[in-house]
Amino acid sequence: MIDGRFRDVVNSYTEPVGRGLVRLGASADVLTTSGLLFACVTGWAIGSGHHVWAIFFLTLTGAHDLFDGPVAKASNTASQRGSFFDSVIDRLSDGVLMAGVMFYLETHHHGLLVLLPFAIATSTFMISYERSKAESLGLHAKGGLMERAERMILLGISLVANVLFLPVLWLLLALTTMTALGRFYRVWRIAEGPKRATRESRSMGGSVRPRRR
């Protein structure tokens, strides 16, 4: 939702920062990699119950993810390889964060609640895969309630207080599932079966997008 409706507003703030980071010697790949490291620390903080620290490190994780694209643009290093690397690291980061949630639930709760972050991760990966596959077929698949920025914001809200943790996680599951189903429905409606299938076979699975935010 933020990426679709407020992208121009976000870019007006992030692009100047990206140019400043380039002048300081930052590179997009370094920011992407350090973002994964902060995600690992965040996952540890969540799993060990240090949720105030988890909010702090989650904010740093999001900042790295927010600015690697503008840095790539400002330094003229945007590339297919950078886009591929960024997407892979984003999925790893998502998995690490949910692993931290899973460890915390396993330690502090009983029963099948440990499956809740697994379900969130599954719906999250479906959202990403649907966009990737649709765009490889030349179809528009952006948008929805719970893209990556919104998911990280909601996860941060869940860490504010113990009383919010489980209810917000259930809300996150509901909204990510709705987003995945809604994206599937939109792509299904606009897809042109035979023509798209031919295009897909010619492209051998589609092309990789340049890095962008």
| Per-10-residue mean pLDDT, the chain, length 213 | 62 82 87 94 96 96 89 85 90 95 90 91 92 86 82 94 94 95 90 55 44 45
CB atoms < 10 A from the CB of 133, how many?
A: 15
Instruction: Give the integer Cα–Cα distance in Å for 10 and 114.
Output: 35
Instruction: Give the integer Cα–Cα distance in Å for 131 and 136.
Output: 8
pLDDT value at residue 200: 44
Structure tokens at 190: 């606009």
pLDDT value at residue 210: 45
Running DSSP on this structure, what letter comes out for residue 137?
Answer: T
Instruction: Give the integer Cα–Cα distance in Å for 194 and 132.
Output: 20
pLDDT value at residue 208: 42
Running DSSP on this structure, what letter comes out for residue 43?
Answer: H
pLDDT value at residue 55: 96
pLDDT value at residue 155: 95
pLDDT value at residue 47: 95
Instruction: Give the integer Cα–Cα distance in Å for 37 and 57.
Output: 10
pTM over 0.85: no
- Give the containing element (helix H, strand E) for 82: helix 80-108
Provide DSSP, 177-205. HHHHHHHHHHHHHH--HHHHHHHHHHHTS
User: Looking at the chain, how many residues does it have?
Assistant: 213
> In the chain, where do the E strands start and end?
none
Instruction: Report the b/e string of 93-102 with b at 16+ CB within 10 A.
Output: bbbbbbbbbb
pLDDT value at residue 207: 44
Residues whose CB falls within 8 Å of the CB of residue 91, separated by 6 or more in sequence, listed in order: 125, 128
pLDDT value at residue 82: 86
pLDDT value at residue 146: 86
pLDDT value at residue 105: 94
Q: Single out the residue of 156, 136, 138, 143 nearest to residue 184, CA to CA.
A: 143
pLDDT value at residue 5: 61
User: What is the residue whose two structure tokens read 């976000």?
Assistant: 10
Q: Single out the residue of 146, 151, 171, 44 nearest to residue 102, CA to CA.
A: 44
First to last CA, the chain: 13
Structure tokens at 143: 């948008």
CATH architecture, range 8-191: Up-down Bundle (1.20)
